[in-house]
Structure 1
Amino acid sequence: MFKKLFAAFSAKSKTRADAPYGTEDLNTVHKMLFADDVGQLFGEAPDARVVQAIAQDPNEESRVRLLAAQWLRASGHVPAAAEVLGVVIEVPLDGSMDTLAAYADGRVRYINQTGRTAVFEGAPADVAAQAKALVASAIPAFIKASRQKPVYAPGAGQLRFTFLSQDGNRVTDGFFSDIVRDELAKPVLEQGQRLLDLVVRQGNAQ
């Protein structure tokens, strides 16, 4: 599926990374995928021990665990573990972008370049299983990824992986031809393609 998207690239992009879509609502949804903006989620003066427990609870939603870890780091505490709990794949297309987010708990979020969105809360089973496979495939690539937060969305002919970790998000991006030759990034792309195929198939079945 991603291979089909790359065939449509034609122009360079200087779209801001935090606002790749044409509406505020979609940009808000997009921003939430990265689970790095805590806001007032834990109140004004939370107990660090409680937040630490949330961060390490495998039964808690992955994005909530990531937000808990983000609060711990921002407050001078070190999360007890640095698990990779999600992957966001961004592919620019026709002046917009396809964004696919998968989480370790099997949840999936998808924003189509047309603005349509899809949400999977750990079901169907094949979508959830593939989401988990995608996150697992990202662990080796995460280790070598950059900690630098990008200013712009990926440009024409490129794609970006953002690995969501309790140790902080990391990024790998580049041209498609480079990604497929990268022994760490290529498995992430392949697993992402499989997940996107399942997500699109579900949408067509509705």
Structure 2
Amino acid sequence: MKLFNFFKKTPSQARAQTAINPYRDRSVNFTYNLLFCDNPDLYKEEKQQPHIYPFDLLFSETVSVKDLQKIIEDEGSDPRVKILAYNKQIALGHSPTKKELLGVIIEVALDEGLDVLASFNNGTARYINHTERIIVWETTHDEAANKITNDLFTCSQHIVNQIGPWDKPRRPNPAKGNVRISFLVADGLYFGEGPINVLFNDPMASPALAKATELMQYLTRKSLEKNN
């Protein structure tokens, strides 16, 4: 529990986020930074103009908190889009009252490089292997994957309920030998970090990390089946 309390901060307005580049390949770094949904300029770079809904609102300099709330309440909105909308509300001085958990990101810094799994609450996911191979999981109707994802979010919500949001820009990727688990929540970024062997045995963190490992293994297996 101390591993999480150490990083507990009070909420504040969203801050500008610079790119963090843990990989050799520029496109992999781009994908990595997109996962955290804390730099709308990256999404603006990715989307072709003219921007259509919801990006026309997200990228507008005159968008209102009410307009952003429409995106958040849209059942068809991608979780990453909702995170961008929540972050923009915070930047406008609005504090979301709902503690909605939209994404869970696990970073494991191995000797060989950084493994990253990002799971979103609609069942989609991204996995970046330390070899810089990327799995993009856009399937939302896979029962097995959705069961693991739901379990992961249940464990993660338990952690979020006990800690507070980080009030500074996202930290550089974890140092070798460490694992970090980040939570993309309506009112900000939450995270805990520690040595791999410690955090995987931490009573609060280990259930979520076990489910994240199960999801990573499932996605890897499905990817291999698809390519064979």
* C-alpha contact (below 8 Å) 2:123/2:145 kept by paired residues: yes
Tell me the SS of whatever aligns to 2:107: strand
Task: Give the TM-score normalised by structure 1.
Answer: 0.84
Overall identity of the aligned pairs, in %: 29
Q: Structure 2 CA distance, aligned partners of 1:168 and 1:128? A: 24
Q: Report the RMSD for the aligned CA atoms in angstroms.
A: 2.1
Aligned to 1:152: 172
Tell me the SS of whatever aligns to 2:116: strand
Aligned to 1:56: 73
Are residue 195 (structure 1) and residue 212 (structure 2) matched? no
Aligned to 1:138: 156
Are residue 45 (structure 1) and residue 62 (structure 2) matched? yes
Q: CA deviation at 1:173?
A: 0.8
Q: Structure 1 CA distance, aligned partners of 2:109 and 2:19? A: 11
Aligned to 2:7: none
* C-alpha contact (below 8 Å) 1:17/1:150 kept by paired residues: no
Tell me the SS of whatever aligns to 2:137: strand
Aligned to 1:65: 82
Gap runs ≥5 in structure 1 = 1-15
Q: Which moved more, 1:45-54 or 1:99-108?
A: 45-54
Q: CA deviation at 1:128?
A: 2.9
Shift >6 Å, 4+ stretches: none
* C-alpha contact (below 8 Å) 2:97/2:187 kept by paired residues: no
Q: Structure 1 CA distance, aligned partners of 2:201 and 2:164? A: 16
Gap runs ≥5 in structure 2 = 1-17, 45-54
Q: CA deviation at 1:177?
A: 2.4
Task: Give the TM-score normalised by structure 2.
Answer: 0.76
